[in-house]
């Protein structure tokens, strides 16, 4: 009986917190038929917002994937003083509110900020433009790959890598032929989480972007825009597309992943 009780709680929680609101979003989007939904989604500013979101994601995900793997390798494999501190710092973006992250970037890259004034002098605009949005997104989505890879690397141990070394493999060959194939599913999972985080980023980007329609407006900002202008179909429509992209990425990963990993 207790098993069913536990299951009941889990299912109820998921329905109430996750599925319910999601269903509501779908319902609201289609409430007034397809026409208002379609016209909102095909609005040039909306299309621009999607393009911008995808561009930012396409930049942030590879950067954080490489960084995450390098970071995890450093934390697990290198014996250096301060490895624990690095490990903790990687988690910082999870602990900080994205709005605070945005504010930090604002202070750094603003006209009177540390980097901002220097960059301004060289004719580079970061704030209220794509660069600051990419930086903000990279910052908030930074921990996911490292977080997934670190425990996998720990569990893997370094004997296989040492064996590869004694068989003549260089550091890079060992990484490519032994380490990477062993951690690949952790990396893939990390990438999926990073992608989802990038697509959904709002707070930090809202602060640094300036929220200029058709210029620095991402899909999530566009949702807010529509919502504030009482275009419910539009805001829910974009929300659905964002959700759909995340679901597709998740599904793709689940399908690609073999049923039973050979241990």
| 262 contributes a contact to other proteins by CB under 8 A | yes
From the list 31-39, 133-141, 145-153, 177-185, the region that binds other proteins by CB under 8 A is: 177-185
| 83 contributes a contact to other proteins by CB under 8 A | no
| 263 contributes a contact to other proteins by CB under 8 A | yes
User: 91-99 contacts: CB < 8 A, separation 24 or more?
Assistant: 91/143, 91/147, 92/143, 93/139, 93/140, 93/141, 93/142, 93/143, 94/143, 97/203, 98/136, 98/140, 98/201, 98/202, 98/203, 98/204, 98/205, 99/203, 99/204, 99/206, 99/207
Number of residues interacting with other proteins: please give it, by CB under 8 A. Answer: 18
| 80 contributes a contact to other proteins by CB under 8 A | no
Of the candidate residues 173, 213, 244, 251, the single one contacting other proteins (CB under 8 A): 173
Of the candidate residues 77, 160, 247, 257, the single one contacting other proteins (CB under 8 A): 160
Task: Strands of the chain (E only): list them.
Answer: none
Specify the residue for token string 């989480």: 193
From the list 53-61, 66-74, 170-178, 232-240, the region that binds other proteins by CB under 8 A is: 170-178
Binding residues (CB under 8 A) for other proteins: these are: 159-160, 162-170, 173, 177-178, 181-182, 262-263
């Amino acid at each position: 009986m207790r098993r069913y009780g536990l299951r009941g709680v889990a299912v109820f929680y998921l329905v109430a917190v996750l599925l319910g609101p999601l269903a509501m979003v779908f319902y609201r989007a289609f409430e007034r038929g397809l026409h208002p939904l379609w016209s909102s989604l095909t609005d040039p500013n909306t299309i621009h917002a999607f393009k911008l979101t995808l561009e930012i994601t396409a930049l942030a995900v590879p950067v954080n994937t490489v960084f995450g793997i390098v970071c995890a390798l450093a934390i697990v494999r290198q014996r250096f003083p301060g490895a624990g501190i690095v490990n903790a710092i990687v988690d910082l973006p999870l602990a900080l509110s994205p709005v605070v992250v945005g504010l930090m970037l604002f202070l750094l890259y603003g006209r009177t900020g540390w980097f901002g004034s220097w960059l301004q002098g060289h004719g580079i605009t970061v704030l209220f433009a794509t660069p600051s949005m990419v930086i903000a997104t990279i910052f908030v989505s930074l921990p996911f790959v490292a977080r997934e890879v670190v425990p996998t690397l720990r569990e893997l141990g370094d004997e296989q890598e040492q064996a590869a070394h004694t068989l003549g493999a260089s550091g890079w060959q060992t990484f490519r032929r032994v380490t990477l194939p062993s951690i690949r599913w952790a990396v893939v999972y990390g990438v999926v989480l990073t992608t989802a985080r990038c697509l959904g980023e709002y707070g930090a980007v809202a602060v640094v972007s300036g929220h200029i329609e058709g210029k620095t407006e991402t899909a999530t900002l566009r949702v807010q825009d529509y919502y504030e202008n009482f275009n419910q179909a539009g805001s829910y429509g974009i929300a659905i597309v964002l959700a759909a992209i995340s679901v597709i990425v998740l599904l793709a990963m689940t399908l690609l992943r073999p049923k039973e990993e050979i241990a």
